[in-house]
Amino acid sequence: MAAACSGGDKIQTATVTTYLDKLQDCTIHMAPQLHKVAVIGAGVSGLLTARELQREGQQIVVYEKSNQIGGVWVYDPEVETDPLGLDPNRRIIHSSMYDSLRTNFPKQLMEFTDYSFTIEKNGKYLYFPDRKEVLKFLNDFARDFGLDHLIRFNTEVVSVEQKNGKWVLESKTSDVDQTNQKELFDAVVICNGHHTQPKLADTPGIKKWPGKQIHSHNYRVPEPYKDQVVVVIGHGPSGFDIAFDIAKVAKEVHVSSRFPQVEVRKLETYENIWQHSKIEYCHENGAVAFEDGALVAADIIIHCTGYKYDFPFLNTNGIVTVDDNRVGPLYKHVFPPRLAPTLSFVGIPKQTANFRVAELQAKWVARALSGKVTLPSREKMVADVEEHYRLMEETGVPKHHTHTFLSCNDTFIYLDWLAAQVRLPRTDEQLKRILDKLVELVRISRVGFRERLVESWPF
């Protein structure tokens, strides 16, 4: 039996080289272990996981509740009946995609280590693809790696629990018969995404505020906001993208941020967008008061306040919980120590190079399942998670940012760490320079950051 490697050690940037070199030596090769593995979801995380499991010779079933692959990237013009997503009985629409979306990463940060994105329009090279181009990229990927035949479309996983060492997975089809089926698996990889369940702002007075409210999950096109005064809560990518989109038709757009260092100002190049601090109070007469002293008679509030992790099908008897958007405990955001390696999560990290992270996580999971890589002992994994929580507390990072990569360096350290687990080279220096520059430009201003990045090319 192979010895466990010390992958649970905490790594610092300065020591990363020695650490990774040491780690190469302790990656253990074992006889391949074959399993029947369920993958939940056929978005980018599920597709990458299926490809890696296929490469390891596993028997795979990918469950996908919709009728196509792509997850977030499948645009659905329909919105949910409850615009804030509070009604638990509403019909849930998975994707929060809006019509005008262009990626916030250049294509170099959204392709895989061995599969590239080539996009040209009218002979011109495009750096930031639109939603249709990303969906095409994922469809091409699935076709080129022969993944389609592994996927059971229109089949939603409704229950997953472990019994007698096997995972019992219950699924329901969405055809007229709504057939329920139970099947046993040796392992389950959860790739169900985390941009569907709205997280709402608990702003004072908002419950009695008389105007219309929606969450960005239900935003699609700007037309309904014509001539309206709109307040957007949240300074993330959705907040600014939607503000820019709506400003084309709205009378005024006011973006509210709870970021303590927010610059209160009218945005350059826009006649009708203002950036404010936190909302102080939403009044019953429709006025919205900001902490910076501004008072606005608003028609609509759009909550661009992010999403909640949600695994409604998963029953682990409390071993894995979601608490204030912390999914835990998860070793390196992937494996619950008590259930590893047979239960894993791909695609949990936020504010990072999502596609690249999912690719390397998928490789790690697949190789851990086939026995080519061993995980540290359960105790070491738990200790690593606890150390992560302790560091967050010490540095004042709120719990809801457990899976947020707050700096480019966090992303690079994580990617290099994952790469070392699966014996791949660390992230290309050019990619690191691109991400660094992108983050620098976004910090200066979200207005025109894509164009400014392209102007800075080559890296």
Closer of 37 and 229 to ligand FAD (Cβ): 37
The answer to whether 249 and 226 have CB atoms below 8 angstroms apart is yes
Q: Which does 157 bind (CB under 5 to 8 A by kind): ligand NAP, ligand FAD, none?
A: ligand FAD
Q: Which of 64, 241, 280, 384 binds ligand NAP (CB under 6 A)?
A: 241
Tokens 């074959």 -> residue = 34
Strands (E), 18-150: 36-40, 59-63, 120-121, 124-125
- Residue 390 has a CB neighbour count (10 Å cut-off) of 11
- Could you tell me which of 259, 398, 406 has the C-alpha nearest to residue 323? 398
Closer of 313 and 417 to ligand FAD (Cβ): 313
Partners of residue 115 on adjacent β-strands: 112
The answer to whether 48 and 70 have CB atoms below 8 angstroms apart is no
Order of all β-strands in the sheet with 59-63: 151-152, 59-63, 36-40, 187-190, 343-345
Q: How far is the CB of 404 from ligand NAP (least distance, A)?
A: 8
Which helix (H) or strand (E) covers residue 280, if one does?
strand 279-282
Does position 238 interact with ligand NAP (CB under 6 A)? The reply is yes
Does position 106 interact with ligand NAP (CB under 6 A)? The reply is no
Interface segment toward ligand NAP; rule CB under 6 A; list 56-64, 100-108, 366-374, 440-448: 100-108
Q: How far apart, in whole angstroms, are the C-alpha atoms of residue 385 and residue 379?
A: 10
Q: How far is the CB of 366 from ligand NAP (least distance, A)?
A: 24
Does position 255 interact with ligand NAP (CB under 6 A)? The reply is no
Closer of 305 and 344 to ligand NAP (Cβ): 305
Q: How far is the CB of 294 from ligand FAD (least distance, A)?
A: 28
Strands (E), 51-154: 59-63, 120-121, 124-125, 151-152
Interface segment toward ligand NAP; rule CB under 6 A; list 112-120, 174-182, 300-308, 438-446: 300-308
Q: How far apart, in whole angstroms, are the C-alpha atoms of residue 86 and residue 84?
A: 6
Token couple for 320:
């894995």
The sign of the torsion formed by the CA atoms of 235, 241, 244, 246 equals: negative
Does position 280 interact with ligand NAP (CB under 6 A)? The reply is no
Token couple for 175:
């055809």
Q: How far apart, in whole angstroms, are the C-alpha atoms of residue 282 and residue 290?
A: 9
What's phi and psi for 228, nearest 5 deg? Answer: -95, 160
Coil, strand or helix: which one is 453? helix
Does position 272 interact with ligand NAP (CB under 6 A)? The reply is no
Q: How far is the CB of 354 from ligand NAP (least distance, A)?
A: 6
Q: Give the CB-side neighbour count of residue 362, counting CA atoms within 13 A.
A: 27
Q: Which does 192 bind (CB under 5 to 8 A by kind): ligand NAP, ligand FAD, none?
A: ligand FAD
Token couple for 249:
């038709």
Does position 356 interact with ligand NAP (CB under 6 A)? The reply is no
Closer of 157 and 301 to ligand FAD (Cβ): 157
Closer of 236 and 448 to ligand NAP (Cβ): 236
Per-residue string for binding with ligand NAP, 194-233, x by CB under 6 A?
-x-----xx-------------x----------------x
Interface segment toward ligand NAP; rule CB under 6 A; list 12-20, 108-116, 234-242, 327-335: 234-242
Token couple for 421:
């687990």
Q: How far is the CB of 201 from ligand NAP (least distance, A)?
A: 4
**Single-letter residue type at 215:** H
Q: How far is the CB of 230 from ligand FAD (least distance, A)?
A: 18
Q: How far is the CB of 440 from ligand FAD (least distance, A)?
A: 18
Does position 448 interact with ligand NAP (CB under 6 A)? The reply is no
**Single-letter residue type at 287:** A
Closer of 111 and 416 to ligand FAD (Cβ): 111
Interface segment toward ligand NAP; rule CB under 6 A; list 53-61, 96-104, 149-157, 450-458: 96-104
Strands (E), 142-256: 151-152, 155-163, 166-173, 180-185, 187-190, 197-198, 212-215, 229-233, 252-256
Please give the residue ranges that form the binding site for ligand FAD (CB under 6 A).
40-46, 63-66, 71-72, 94, 96-97, 101, 103-105, 110, 156-157, 191-193, 195, 313, 347, 354-355
Interface segment toward ligand NAP; rule CB under 6 A; list 1-9, 98-106, 312-320, 388-396: 98-106
Closer of 218 and 370 to ligand NAP (Cβ): 218
Q: How far apart, in whole angstroms, are the C-alpha atoms of residue 450 and residue 151?
A: 35
Q: Which residues bind ligand NAP (CB under 6 A)?
A: 101-104, 195, 201-202, 216, 233-239, 241, 258, 304-306, 350
